[in-house]
């Protein structure tokens, strides 16, 4: 049985018709398939590979940690240097009230931990989130995801969840003394990269402060430099009570985190002890990779170059078939006439050597989320391939 047959018969599928490219190697912003064909990677594993593929410094950090040890004990019991070093780095980069990190395995697990933390610390049960937000596929994360079509087949989900319209300041009055937390994406990703309107996040933080609710900002997709700042909330002049990281946070390895103050975080360790626990969270190899990746992003000042690279995309992606380009930095949504047109253009892009996809809740938009260190040459080449693919679809 060949690889394709095994893939479709013995590996669980997540959609009825996956593109099923058979990728055998990756380097920088390029992927190579089993036939030797190269592709420019414009999605970087859905915002994971912020430094591209096969980065030598990350690879070296992984290899060194493998030689020192893999799994030692469940999370939070032993002092383990990869976790300590990474926590120290995060503390140096974040505001003072975000000084205590709980490492987990993924973004969804960061969401789950943060929701438990907010309920435990406040003693409240109501959770508020927003329409078209995406926070993950586990039960708690799905409960606060703001799209009913994704949720209905899995009910009942968490009770006491209220979904508000995003960017509607008037609706924030529904946050009350019963609210444990409000969870929001700093910039909505799967909605098609929707940037908050002026003052929305400021008013959201103000209302949370008035009601003593905790504000959780989900930066799993937009964090670690993708918007031109190390953390997207820095664009808006606010600081959350809890910050969520994942995807690029692990440098290509599985890793997530929820980060808060020591005061808030300590509530998870008592009444009951081990109120939140993970066996593999903060895996030593993942922390070594994540620490190295974030260190490189900072050292090479990659966020400083994001705005210029965004401008190159916007300046080159001009076509009558493109209705709009939304987003921030190197997370952009290219809007086409409808879902059918978008899917056809994406398919032609893959045939022509560019890997991209659309968004869960904005199927008429193409995702652009390349590695932060993508070259100007590859940006211009990928834009030309996208334009050619639009022409192919229209002809």
Report, as an integer, the average pLDDT of 252-278: 95
Is 243 found in the same domain as 329?
Answer: no
Is 194 found in the same domain as 73?
Answer: yes
Half-sphere exposure of 113 toward its Cβ, with a 13 Å CA cutoff?
Answer: 32
Each residue of 9-57: pLDDT tens digit? 988 988 888 888 999 999 999 999 999 999 999 999 999 999 999 999 9
Last residue of some domain: 299, 322, 343?
Answer: 299
Each residue of 371-382: pLDDT tens digit? 999 999 999 999
pLDDT of residue 320 exceeding 80: yes
Sign of CA pseudo-dihedral 382, 383, 387, 393 = positive
What's the CATH code of the domain at 10? 3.90.1150.10
Is 175 found in the same domain as 62?
Answer: yes
Q: In this structure, what DSSP letter does residue 246 have?
A: -
Is 333 found in the same domain as 288?
Answer: no
Is 283 found in the same domain as 187?
Answer: yes
- Quick one: pLDDT band at residue 345, thresholds 50, 70, 90? very high
Collapse the DSSP code of 360 into the 3-class scheme (helix H, G, I; strand E, B; otherwise coil) and give the result.
coil
Read off the tokens for 64.
């060194």
Is 240 found in the same domain as 150?
Answer: yes
Last residue of some domain: 262, 280, 299?
Answer: 299
State the pLDDT at residue 221: 98
State the pLDDT at residue 395: 76
Report, as an integer, the average pLDDT of 141-160: 96
* Dihedral over alpha carbons 280, 282, 286, 287 (to 10 degrees): -160
Domain range holding 364?
3-54+302-394
Number of domains in the chain: 2
Last residue of some domain: 264, 299, 334?
Answer: 299
Is 177 found in the same domain as 63?
Answer: yes
Is 172 found in the same domain as 295?
Answer: yes
What's the CATH code of the domain at 256? 3.40.640.10
Distance CA 368, CA 47 (A): 9
Distance CA 18, CA 15 (A): 6
Is 135 found in the same domain as 110?
Answer: yes
C-alpha of 340 from chain center: 26
Phi, psi at 53, each rounded to 5°: -105, 145
Is 316 found in the same domain as 173?
Answer: no
Is 205 found in the same domain as 78?
Answer: yes
pTM for the structure as a whole: 0.97
State the pLDDT at residue 20: 87
Report, as an integer, the average pLDDT of 186-208: 97
Is 308 found in the same domain as 231?
Answer: no
């Amino acid at each position: 049985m060949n690889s394709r047959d095994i893939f479709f018969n013995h590996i669980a599928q997540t959609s009825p018709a996956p593109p099923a490219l058979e990728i055998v190697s990756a380097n920088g912003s390029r992927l190579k398939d089993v036939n030797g064909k190269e592709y420019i990677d414009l999605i970087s594993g859905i915002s994971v590979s912020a430094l591209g593929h096969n980065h030598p410094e990350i690879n070296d950090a992984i290899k060194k940690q493998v030689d020192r040890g893999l799994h030692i004990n469940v999370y939070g019991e032993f002092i383990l240097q990869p976790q300590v070093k990474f926590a120290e780095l995060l503390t140096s980069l974040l505001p003072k009230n975000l000084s205590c990190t709980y490492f987990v395995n993924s973004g969804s697990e960061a969401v789950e931990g943060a929701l438990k933390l907010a309920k435990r610390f406040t003693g409240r049960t109501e959770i508020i989130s927003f329409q078209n937000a995406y926070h993950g596929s586990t039960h708690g994360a799905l409960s606060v995801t703001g799209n009913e079509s994704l949720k209905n087949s899995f009910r009942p989900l968490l009770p006491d969840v209220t979904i508000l319209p995003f960017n509607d300041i008037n609706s924030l009055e529904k946050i009350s003394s019963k609210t444990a937390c409000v969870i929001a994406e700093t910039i909505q990703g799967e909605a098609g990269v929707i940037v908050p309107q002026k003052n929305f996040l400021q008013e959201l933080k103000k209302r949370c402060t008035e009601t003593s609710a905790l504000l959780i900002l989900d930066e799993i997709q937009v964090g670690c430099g993708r918007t031109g700042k190390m953390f997207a909330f820095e664009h808006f002049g606010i600081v959350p009570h809890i910050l969520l990281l994942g995807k690029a946070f692990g440098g290509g390895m599985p890793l997530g985190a929820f980060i808060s103050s020591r005061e808030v975080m300590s509530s998870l360790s008592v009444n009951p002890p081990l109120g939140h626990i993970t066996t593999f969270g903060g895996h030593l190899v993942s922390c070594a990779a994540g620490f190295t990746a974030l260190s490189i992003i900072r050292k090479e000042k990659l966020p400083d170059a994001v705005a210029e690279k965004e401008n190159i995309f916007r300046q080159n992606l001009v076509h009558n078939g493109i209705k709009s380009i939304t987003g921030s930095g190197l997370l952009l949504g290219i809007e086409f006439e409808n879902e059918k047109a978008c899917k056809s253009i994406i398919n032609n892009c893959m045939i022509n050597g560019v890997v991209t996809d659309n968004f869960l809740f904005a199927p008429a938009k193409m995702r652009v989320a390349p590695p932060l260190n993508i070259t100007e040459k590859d940006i211009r080449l990928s834009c030309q391939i996208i334009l050619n693919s639009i022409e192919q679809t229209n002809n």
